[in-house]
Chain A
Amino acid sequence: MDRGGLLMWRDALLVAGKDLRIEFRSKIALNQIAPFALVVLLLFAFALDPDRGFLGEATPGLFWITVLLSTLLVVQRSYAVEAADSGRDSLRLTGLDPAGVFLGKAAAVFVVLALLEVGLAAGVRLMYDTSLRGWPVLVVASLAATTGLVAAGTMYGALAAGLRARETLLPLLFLPVVAPVMIGGTRAFAAALDGSSGEGWRWCGLLITFAVAYVALGMLLFEPLLEDS
């Protein structure tokens, strides 16, 4: 690997380490975002009659909607820590490799979101009485879908960062873009839970395509986002 590539990975590790350390200290994801996800699961039970088996049938969709909403919060938090001390210049001034910054921030968000998904899976198992089957598809689909969500989220978080309308702009920009992840994740889960893994793998293919595309786009396009004044 050439020197630039090495620097990119070094910078990615540095940024990811810093973000995870901040998360570990503040425990915002654990104390606020995870409970939020739990509340959403409860709300779905209120909205859909829990006695008629809707919840079990709708589990794939409800799971991914909850993940999607939580992604918004994790991404917002990831950029809020950059502006916490009323300065947004640190990441730019460090002169870190832009692709490295992108990968680092995305990796930290990935770790938080993946842990959250494990908790959510336990939540739907217990609360919606959904029996989880087809583990290989579930795991691969989750990893691919989360990578895609995180890559897109990190891009759109940076795109909205520093603007006065950032809280409202982020969902408007992010949610339509991840429509393929929502569809793919839901279909893959539904297929796995139905025991038709062949169908599930096809959707995994779509999720992996999305993830690869957005990771590549993020690495290419993060630099202009770090230039902003």
Chain B
Amino acid sequence: MEPVILLRDAVTVLGGFPALAGADLDVWRGEIVLVSGPNGAGKSTLLRLCAGLASLAKGSGRVLGFDLVRQRREIRRRVGYLGHANGLYLELTAEENVRFWARSAAAPAHDDVATLDRLEVPTRWRSLAVAHLSAGQRRRVALACVVVRRPDIWLLDEPHTGLDGPSRDLLDGVLREAVAAGATVLVASHELDRSAALATRTVRIVGGVLSSTDEPSDGSRGTVDVA
């Protein structure tokens, strides 16, 4: 059985700079992996690479069995990515934003409302243009846009930033539910104590280099040979 994320000596170049200078990573289905590391270590780039957003300059990688060079579109439609930017349409309401993502993923009807309910987005925000919401409120709407797609892999970049205590608990709950339903989560964060409690495993990336091809923490599955 293949890991859902498999990187071998992956290099990603951003504007001539090797933001990822050699990442080896195996992530298995059902894991919640915390990617830790100092600023500029390549956490965000690692997530963008796995989302099919940043391109692979050297090395090889597969996500959900799809090649990171040739099948990025297949990968993109199956992952849920939340970056530093929320990427919402500011003129649209919270509800409309979530509905756009729901429809693009061909999610069942009324999933958008159910998702907003699950994330406890108050009804009075839902019909407001996102531009009028506060940073924390927008973050929750952006999360809802990811949740509504029911992705196989969740790639979250500093998801706890800007969220208050109850919202963070809510997020952790949503992630645990997703994992229980068969999803896999990769979280980049430097708030270790917060995310470590949630994670089943922590990997550390420094200077664009990461080496984690170990077995998952429960030890139930074997590793594959390094290619």
Chain A directly contacts chain B within the complex, with at least one CB pair under 8 Å: yes
Question: Please, what's the 1-or-0 string for A9-21, where 1 marks a CB less than 8 Å from any CB in chain B?
Answer: 0010010001001
Closest to A96 in B: B104
B85 touches A11 (CB 8 A): no
| Whole-angstrom CA separation of A95 from B51 in the bound complex | 11
Q: Given the complex, which residues of A lie within 8 Å of B90, measured CB to CB?
A: 84-85
Interface size class of A (residues with CB under 8 A): 20 to 34
A94 touches B105 (CB 8 A): yes
| Whole-angstrom CA separation of A94 from B102 in the bound complex | 9
11 contacts between A and B (CB under 8 A): A14-B104, A85-B87, A85-B88, A87-B83, A93-B53, A93-B81, A94-B105, A95-B77, A95-B104, A98-B73, A229-B14
Q: Given the complex, which residues of B lie within 8 Å of A87, measured CB to CB?
A: 83, 85-87
Q: Given the complex, which residues of A lie within 8 Å of B170, measured CB to CB?
A: none
Q: State whether the Cβ of B212 lies closer than 8 Å to any Cβ in chain A.
A: no
Closest to A24 in B: B91
Q: State whether the Cβ of B118 lies closer than 8 Å to any Cβ in chain A.
A: no
A92 touches B53 (CB 8 A): yes
A-B contact count (CB 8 A): 78
Q: State whether the Cβ of B96 lies closer than 8 Å to any Cβ in chain A.
A: yes
| Whole-angstrom CA separation of A226 from B55 in the bound complex | 12
B85 touches A86 (CB 8 A): yes
Q: State whether the Cβ of B125 lies closer than 8 Å to any Cβ in chain A.
A: no
Q: State whether the Cβ of B103 lies closer than 8 Å to any Cβ in chain A.
A: yes
Contact A22:B85 (CB < 8 A) given known A14-B104, A95-B105: no
Beyond the given A90-B89, A92-B76, A93-B79, please list 18 additional residue pairs across the A-B interface where CB-CB is below 8 A: A14-B103, A18-B92, A21-B96, A22-B92, A25-B92, A81-B91, A84-B91, A85-B89, A87-B86, A88-B87, A89-B87, A90-B87, A93-B53, A95-B77, A95-B104, A227-B55, A229-B14, A229-B55
| Whole-angstrom CA separation of A10 from B125 in the bound complex | 28
Q: Given the complex, which residues of B lie within 8 Å of A84, measured CB to CB?
A: 89-91
Q: State whether the Cβ of B54 lies closer than 8 Å to any Cβ in chain A.
A: yes
Question: Please, what's the 1-or-0 string for B89-125, where 1 marks a CB less than 8 Å from any CB in chain A?
Answer: 1111000100011011100000000000000000000
Within 8 A of B (CB), among A1-59: 11, 14, 18, 21-22, 25-26
Q: State whether the Cβ of B209 lies closer than 8 Å to any Cβ in chain A.
A: no
Q: State whether the Cβ of B206 lies closer than 8 Å to any Cβ in chain A.
A: no
Q: State whether the Cβ of B176 lies closer than 8 Å to any Cβ in chain A.
A: no
Closest to B79 in A: A93
| Whole-angstrom CA separation of A87 from B103 in the bound complex | 20
Most chain A CB within 10 A, of B54, B72, B78, is at: B72
Closest to B87 in A: A87
B53 touches A89 (CB 8 A): yes
Closest to A22 in B: B91
| Whole-angstrom CA separation of A87 from B58 in the bound complex | 25
Q: State whether the Cβ of B48 lies closer than 8 Å to any Cβ in chain A.
A: yes
Contact A94:B101 (CB < 8 A) given known A229-B48, A229-B55: yes
Q: Given the complex, which residues of B lie within 8 Å of A25, measured CB to CB?
A: 91-92, 129
How near does chain B come to A28, taking the closest CB pair, in angstroms? Answer: 9
Question: Please, what's the 1-or-0 string for A56-89, where 1 marks a CB less than 8 Å from any CB in chain B?
Answer: 0000000000000000000000000100111111
Q: Given the complex, which residues of B lie within 8 Å of A85, measured CB to CB?
A: 85-90, 130, 138
A26 touches B88 (CB 8 A): no
Within 8 A of B (CB), among A207-229: 223, 226-227, 229
| Whole-angstrom CA separation of A22 from B101 in the bound complex | 15
A93 touches B88 (CB 8 A): no
B92 touches A21 (CB 8 A): yes
B89 touches A95 (CB 8 A): no
Q: Given the complex, which residues of B lie within 8 Å of A90, measured CB to CB?
A: 87, 89
Q: Given the complex, which residues of A lie within 8 Å of B138, measured CB to CB?
A: 85
| Whole-angstrom CA separation of A48 from B83 in the bound complex | 53
A89 touches B91 (CB 8 A): no
How near does chain B come to A155, taking the closest CB pair, in angstroms? Answer: 19
| Whole-angstrom CA separation of A77 from B8 in the bound complex | 40
| Whole-angstrom CA separation of A11 from B14 in the bound complex | 30
How near does chain A come to B71, taking the closest CB pair, in angstroms? Answer: 11
